[in-house]
Chains A and B, each alone.
Chain A
């Protein structure tokens, strides 16, 4: 069964450092998303991405965050200067089509720990 792959599985970084989280989407999927889940809290939407552009972003997704698909395969989330409160699980999700009648496939997540 096709799956979304995320690397690394766990990243520890010092506050103020830049991190890049990577996601390999399912091959024929066109819509990409990042979500995050702070320990013990809800899964929160960060950003959606289609056709090399951000489609929608949440209030959480401020100027410290950016996304890109540099080589047509990997989909990345960059946090420019990490803060302690960025510590969370980050999930990549992909969808073959846009819309309300399709399912999203999630990766296993990257656990980001900012120290």
Chain B
């Protein structure tokens, strides 16, 4: 599985946008980029995924670089409930999710 690199932690203030980066320089052409998050004491939760084009859903936006070697998860207005560990995961031809250590996002009121 191709490797991803994320900052260990990030901070944000409530109601501000948050940009969570992920580097995946060894991504292959068929790897999907998935984002999950894990709120404290809960199971992982799907956030968004994409292949080449930018994607939007009710939770977040995913901006994918043109060369696909990096991506950014965008939370448009952070809330306290968005405090979680965010995982960027590449998936190709496999059902399983390989979790890294992710980025721990702290949100301050």
Interface residues of A (CB under 8 A from B): 4, 31, 33, 35, 42-45, 48, 55-56, 58, 91, 93, 95, 98-101, 103-109
Contact = CB atoms under 8 A, between A and B. Distances in A.
Given A42-B100, A103-B49, A95 B95 contact: yes
Interface residues of B, number: 24
Contacts, number: 58
Which secondary structure characterizes the binding site on chain B? loop
B93 to A, nearest CB: 7
Nearest to A46: B96
Contacts of A43: 38, 44, 87, 97, 99
A85 B68 CA distance: 39
Given A43-B38, A109-B42, A104 B101 contact: no
Given A100-B32, A109-B43, A42 B91 contact: no
A44 B44 CA distance: 12
Contact of A104 (B30, B46, B98): B46
A42 B43 CA distance: 12
Given A45-B98, A101-B32, A109-B42, 12 more contacts: A35-B44, A42-B100, A43-B44, A45-B96, A56-B95, A91-B43, A100-B32, A103-B34, A104-B97, A107-B43, A108-B42, A108-B43
